[in-house]
Structure formats: structure tokens, C-alpha cells
Structure 1
Amino acid sequence: MFRLNPYRIGWRTIKTAVGMALGVIITKLLGLDNYASSAILVVLCIKDTKMHSVHAIFSRFVSCLIAIGFGATIFPLLGQHAWVLGLIVLLFIPLTVTINTQEGVVTSIVILLHFFNADVIDVSLMLNEVMLLVVGLSIAFIMNTIMPSFEKALTDYQNNIETQIRHIFETYSTMCIKNIQQADLSFNQLLLSIQQAKSIAFRDVKNHFVRNENSYYHYFDMRQDQVEILQRIHHSLQLITVDDPLLPKLATLFKEMADNVNENNYTAMRLHLLYEIRLQIDDLPLPQTHDELYTRSSIIQILYDTEEYLHIKSKFGSLKLYHQVT
């Protein structure tokens, strides 16, 4: 069944439209032949990120220069015939694949067709095609330097993820205080948020020519590792079936961690509290029943997992802002 897809005009559409218009206007003012072809260059070089754009521009520039060389030498020798055009393409495409510039094949074919349809193949035609390349690719490069900032989106994801983790620790604290085995917790939305945030952070990396890493990406990667530990802790909490003297202290630890989830928090105080709980284990009487033994062993496992959670954060340090990593 036919249906219309929702669509909104984004940055890439606007840049493509403006770039095409500028390409045609400038090449026409310069008096170049086939000036409309500059618009094709602009369309094919507008990408989602700056790094992808640079790679596309480089590939098209190199492949088009090769196409100009093929067209300027082979057509005058063999004639401007359809089979000659096919022969050039037969030789040209494998060459671009070999030197990893196959992304520019489409624009190069356009250049070859200019030579194929030209009345005279001379130096002026070659210069005309080079100028089309320079103008079209330059406009595409300028358009691609205009990229929306991802900082607000990344900050929003960061706050959202920290809110969800805070809720998890508060729930853990409640489970310890009230000795509840089951809690309404789901990690799917949290993991989805982290994956979406990492995707945006990766795109942000590709929008910088100088640096090739992003503190936000490492931050979300760190949170993903921590969520895996939180899932293990949740499983261990579900195995606690009887009351234990360590549960109130564990509840206090989780409450402390809930209040200090944000990225600039130091973990030393939480580790100190955790080690105090572990030292108290030796002073407690041994479990007398099977359920008490399972509960105590689950608490010990929770303490080890919580320590690992805190160590992951301590290795990460603080989340740096953009101006600190550029």
C-alpha cells in the first residue's frame, strides 16, 4: 500500500541545495562549459561528517584527474566512439578500485562524457574540466565545514543515563532495606540510550580534522561496562532471601552511589565505605542455615562487583569538555 513517509528538511538538504546553486552560479560566471556539472560534484560530496566529506572529495578529485588523463589521450588516438568509451571505463574502474578512489567513479564518468561529446579535445577543455572540479569540490568542502554541534545532544544523553543509573542504585538500596527480591527494573532502555549516545559521539569524532578521539565516546563506553556490572548486582540481590547484618550497610553504600553518580565524582569515599563493610564480615558470626549462607555469599559477590564498578569509574576520571580536548 502506498503511503507518504514523514520528512523534515535537515542541514544536509539545505547545504546541498545552497551548494548546488552556488556551484552553477560561480562556474557560469567564470564562463566554463558544462557548468551544470559542478552541481553533481556538490551533491555527491555532501556527507554526514567532515571526515567522510574529505575522503569523498579526495577520491573524486583523484579519480576525475585520471579520467581527464584517459579522455585527453585515448579519445584523440582511437576516436570518440561508443566502444572507445566502453574501453576507457573497462580500464578506468579497476584502476580506481586499486588505488581506493572508486567513490569518484560516477563523477569521473561525467567528465569522460564531456570529452566524448566535445567537438575539440585540447588543453582548454582539460583546463575547463579541472576548473569545474576545483569549484565544485571547494564549495562542497566549505558546505561540509558547517556541521551542527552535537554537544547538547551528548549532554542530554549523559544526564539521562546518569538519571537511570541513579534510579537503579536507589532501587538497590530499597531492596536491601526492605529485603525485597524482586524489583521493577529493566536495563533495556538504559543500554539503548548508551548505544544511541555512542553513535552520536562517534559522529562527533568524524566532524573534527585534528583530534581522532572523543571524551564523550569513552564516557558512554565506560557506562556500558558499568551497566553490565549493575546487571550482575541485580541478579545477586535477587538471591538474598533472609535478613543479614550487612544489608543496612549495603543499602547505605548504594544510596551514597546514587547520590554521586555524576561524572565528576571521586570514587575514593565510596571505596572506603565498601572496604569497611568487607572488614566487618570477619567479625560477624558464620551463617547457620543454607539460606543465610546463600545470602552472605551473594552480599560478598555484590561487594566485589561494586568494587569493580567503582574501579572502572576511577580509571576513567572526569569527562572533559570540548575545549579541553581540542
Structure 2
Amino acid sequence: MQIKPYRIGYRTLKTALGMTLAVILSRLIGLDNYASSAILVVLCIKDTRVKSFEAAIYRFIACFIAIMIGSVFFTYLGSTPIVLGVMVLLFIPVTVMIGVQEGIVTSCVIILHLYMAKVIDFNLIINEILLLIIGIGIALIMNMFMPSLDHKLNQYKRKIEDDFILITFVFSEGLNNPNKKLNTPSFDQVSQNIKKAKSLAFREVKNHFVRNENSYYHYFDMRQEQLTLLKRMKNLIESMQHSQHAHHLCSQLLLDVSQNVQSNDYSLMRLHSLYEIKIKLQSIELPKTQGELESIAALFQLLNEVEEYLQIKSQFGSLKK
């Protein structure tokens, strides 16, 4: 068991403040079971604005159904544990059927209020509805304050670009020194960083009601495609045994790619250089040994992978923040 460092997160701060406000407001109004409004706040605080809004709707609908069913059951059948169990047995399938099962836990708070009440009348129903409005409403207000994720997204972007710079630089060195081991950053670690960045970018989308996409997400998706090509390039370079003039040309190309990973307009220029290399390779001397043949074949395949790598970036364009 490992004890993590003590820290107060943004969501924790919002939850504590929301609970405090809900209890104070419910008590000032004079509601019964006023502390329950704090429970509603806790259940409705979410990671994103969209999730919070959806949760509020589902919970309100589910609680309204619970009030109607509970009022009928406990009024005409009595407030007994058996009636409570039968009522829940009917209530849960109803919420699942209409797709508001997320509000089951919240509804149980209201159901228990009805169960414990001596008399179920209009005043009690209004009391429960006001508790819902205060608890869910304050949670929604708290969730309107979401920190921007742009700083974290930029950190991931810089880290991934640094890894791409190092990888392509090592590839360039490897083409000049065929027997040298390619000490690239861990592809698995780079892949994990891209997945985390995509998840964060998707979360940022969910913080906006009118925006359904995020250019950061498409950017990291583009890098994920390029990473797959880089893995294939590494295998090809490691299979090469001979260093020829053609290999040096490709080395210079990859060096240019490495130096311009962060640039938004380098792809077309590098593609032009790549096509020039392909034209030059058409006039090279034919391989004399099987090793040279395999090496030059791997080189042609490498150029195809680099071409696809550059085309993916060219099609993406620039990152629009």
C-alpha cells in the first residue's frame, strides 16, 4: 500500500464549496432533510460540463419518477421494509427502460425521505423538489467553472514532438552508420503519451456545449498514425547492412524532417526532396550482392514510409487552437 501525496484538486474544491452552499441555502429556506442537498451536489459533480448537464437531467427525471411511485406505494401500502423493497424492485427497471439509470443512487435519497415521512403530502413533495433543484442546480453552477486544459495539452504536444525529433535524428544517424544500434525513445512510452493526450483533448471537447471537436485531438491522432510508420522505419533501417550514397541522401532527408518536426509547413518541401531522391535512385548502379540488394530494397521501402509520414502531416495542416 502506497500513500500518495496530500493534495486538494479542483474537483475536490468545487465539491466542498458546493456542499457548503447547498446546506446553507436549504437550511435558510427551511427545508426538511436539508443536509441531503449536499449528497445531491456530490453525485452531480462531474469531470466535464457536458457530463454534468447530462447527469443533472437524468437525476432529476429519475427522482421525479421516484417521488410519484414512492408517494403511491407508501401512501396506500404503508411504509414497511417489504413495500420499500417492492417499490425499488419496480422503480429500477423503469429507470433502465427510459435510460436514466444514472439517477438511481440519487433517487434512493428521495425514496428514503418518503419512506421515513409520517405523512406524504403536497408540502413534502415540494420540499423534495426544492432539495433537488438546490442540489443539482449548485452542482451545475460549480461545473461551469472548469480549468482550461490547453496548458497540459501543450505540454503533451511538446513532449511528443521532442520524442519525434530524437527518433528521426537517430534514424538519420543510423543510415550513415548501418552497424550502429538505434537508441530511440521507447515507442511504447510515446504511444502511451499520445493516448493520454487524446483522452485529455476529448475531455476538453466535453467542456463545451456547442463545440463537438478539438484540433488537439486530431493533432494527436495524426501523431499516432505517424508513430506506426516510425516503428516500421526502425525495422527497415535495422535490416540494412550497407551504407551507400543513396543511404546518405535518405539520412539527410530524415535529418531535415527531424529539424522541422514542430514546423507546420515543412511537409511539402520534404516531399519535394524525397521525390528528387527517388529520381536519383533510378540511375544508381545495380546491386552486386544479395546483401546490397536487400539493403537497397529496404531503402526504397523506407522512402515509401517517409513519404506516407510526410503526407499525413501535410493533410493535417496546422494546429488551430
Interval containing the TM-score (normalised by the shorter chain) = over 0.9
Contact 1:181 1:240 in 2 (8 A): no
Counterpart in the other structure of 2:295:
295
Equivalent position of 2:210 in the other structure: 210
Alignment root-mean-square deviation, CA:
1.5
Deviation at 1:51, TM superposition (A): 2.1
Distance 1:90 1:157 in 2: 48
Higher deviation after alignment, 311-320 or 69-78: 69-78
The ranges of structure 1 where at least 4 consecutive aligned residues each deviate by more than 6 angstroms after the TM superposition are none
- Match of residue 64 from structure 2: 65
Is the 2:50–2:206 Cα contact (8 Å) retained in structure 1? yes
Deviation (angstroms), 1:72: 2.2
Match of 2:174 in 1: 175
Q: Structure 1 residue 263: deviation in Å? A: 5.2
- What secondary structure sits across from 2:245 in the alignment? coil
Letter paired with 1:312: I
Q: Which amino acid aligns with 2:139?
A: A
Whether the 8 Å contact between 2:41 and 2:139 is mirrored in structure 1 is: yes
Alignment partners' CA distance in 2, 1:270 and 1:93: 61
Separation (CA, whole Å) in 1 of partners of 2:93 and 2:168: 58
Matched-pair contact (CA < 8 Å) for 1:244–1:295: no
Equivalence map 1:25-40=2 (5 Å):
25-40=24-39
CA contact 1:175–1:181 (8 Å) conserved in 2? yes
* Matched position secondary structure for 1:217: helix
Q: Which residue of 2 aligns with 1:150?
A: 149
Q: For 2:263 and 2:145, locate their aligned partners in 1 and report how far apart those are by CA, in whole Å.
A: 30
**AA of the residue aligned to 1:208:** H
Counterpart in the other structure of 2:124 = 125
Partner of 1:324: none
Q: How does 1:235-274 map to 2 (within 5 A)?
A: 235-262=235-262, 264-274=264-274
CA offsets 1:252-277 (integer angstroms, 9 cap, x no match): 11111011101523411100000000
- Residues 88-117 of structure 1: per-residue CA shift (max 9 Å, x gap): 111101111111211211221211121222
Q: Distance in 2 between matches of 1:154 and 1:183?
A: 29
Structure 2 vs 1, CA of residues 213 and 4 (structure 1 numbering), >3 Å: closer, same or farther? same
CA distance in 1, matches of 2:80, 2:238: 78
What is the CA-CA distance between 1:156 and the residue it aligns to?
0.8
Partner of 1:43 in structure 2? 42
Seen in structure 2, the aligned counterparts of structure 1 residues 249 and 5 have a Cα distance that, compared at 3 Å, is closer
1:70-101 superposed Cα distances (whole Å, 9 cap, x missing partner): 12222222222222222211110111111121
- Deviations along 1:203-225, whole A, 9 cap, x unmatched? 21222211122111111111011
Rounded to whole Å, the distance in 1 between the matches of 2:30 and 2:139 is 20
In structure 1, the residue matched to 2:88 is: 89
Q: C-alpha distance in 2, partners of 1:277/1:215?
A: 33
CA contact (8 A) 1:181 1:241 kept: no
Aligned-partner Cα distance in 2 for 1:178–1:57:
62
TM-score (norm 1): 0.94
Distance in 2 (CA, whole Å) between partners of 1:218 and 1:203 is 13
Residues 21, 202 of structure 1: alpha-carbon distance in 2 compared, 3 angstrom cutoff: same
How many residue pairs get matched?
Answer: 320
Residue type of the alignment partner of 1:8: R
Contact 1:68 1:112 in 2 (8 A): yes
Q: CA deviation at 1:181?
A: 4.4
Name the CA distance, whole Å, in 2 between partners of 1:109 and 1:171: 60
Aligned equivalent of 2:280: 280
1:16 paired residue number: 15
Unaligned regions of 5+ residues in structure 1, if any?
322-326
Shifted more, 33-42 versus 112-121: the winner is 112-121
TM-score by length of 2: 0.95
Question: Helix, strand or coil: the match of 1:146?
Answer: coil
Change (3 A) 1:289 1:71: same
Is contact 1:181–1:237 with CA below 8 Å preserved after alignment?
no
Q: Any unmatched runs of 5+ in structure 2?
A: none
Q: Give the Å deviation of 1:180.
A: 3.6
**Residue 3 of structure 1: CA displacement?**
5.9
* Cα deviation code 1:116-164 (max 9, x no counterpart): 2222221111111111111110000011111121101100110111111
Q: CA deviation at 1:64?
A: 0.4
The answer as to whether partners of 1:181 and 1:239 remain within 8 angstroms in 2 is no
| Alignment check: 8 A CA contact 2:161 2:261 kept | yes
1:101 aligns with 2:107: no
Q: Percent identity?
A: 49
Cα shift at 1:227: 0.8
Alpha-carbon shift at residue 16 of structure 1 (Å)? 0.8
Q: Please give the alpha-carbon distance, in whole angstroms, between the structure 2 residues aligned to 1:153 and 1:188.
A: 20
Q: Provide closer, same or farther for how the CA distance between residues 92 and 263 of structure 1 changes in structure 2, counting only shifts above 3 A.
A: farther
